[in-house]
Amino acid sequence: EVSMAGLVHDIGHMLGMEAGFPAGMQGCGTPNHEGIGGLFLRSLGFHPITAYLVEQHVNAKRYLVYKDPFYKLTEASRTTLMFQGGPMTEQEAEQAEGNGVVEWTKVLVMRTYDEAAKVVGLPAPKLDDIHALVYKHVFDYATATATATATATATATATATATASRH
């Protein structure tokens, strides 16, 4: 989920551009792109944790800047931070840390992927490779969900049949 979220975390910016919205945040992108992206990914059948990571990647930036005022951001990230609430407050950071250690750790790891991907000159994955990863992610989640639903339905049916035969 973390790698997948790293690949698609800024999809909300692209959706804003596709919709014809003017670039907000002083030309740096679509406001609330993280929320828009998370909703979009859920609608496509992405795993809920992947969507959650996308929704929280801006909060991760805010948190990391709160924890380390010298946290290195690109110029665009510094600009958007002003529009995204600035560094977290102590209360916001404590709340974020309390949202589930495993999930919050994944958000912070995904944010480090985001920062690392901004290094100019690094090789980028091929579009066909990304397509295959996205397809596998959605297919695996859909298969797991369908299997869990079928198992729950079979269990409920067996229980109802057993209860009915006793009466």
* pLDDT tens by residue, 46-65: 999 999 999 999 999 999 99
7-16: b or e for each residue (b if 16 or more CB lie within 10 Å)?
bbbbbbbbbb
Which residue matches tokens 């198992």? 151
* pLDDT attached to residue 151: 66
Asked whether 21 and 72 are in contact (CB, 8 A), the reply is no
pLDDT tops 60 at residue 100: yes
Percentage of residues in the chain with pLDDT exceeding 90? 46
Predicted confidence (pLDDT) per residue in 61-87, tens digit: 999 999 998 999 989 899 999 999 999
Over 88-149, what HEC string results? CCHHHHHHHHCCCHHHHHHHHHHHHHHHHCCCCCCCCCCHHHHHHHHHHHHHHHHHHHHHHH
Residue 51 has what pLDDT? 95
Residue 57 token pair: 């990647």
On whether the CB atoms of residues 53 and 99 are closer than 8 A, the answer is no
Instruction: Give the predicted TM-score (pTM) of the model.
Output: 0.79
pLDDT at 155: 64
Q: Which residues pair with 29 in a beta bridge?
A: 24
Residue of 119, 25, 28 lying closest to 76 (CA atoms) = 28
pLDDT at 164 over 80: no
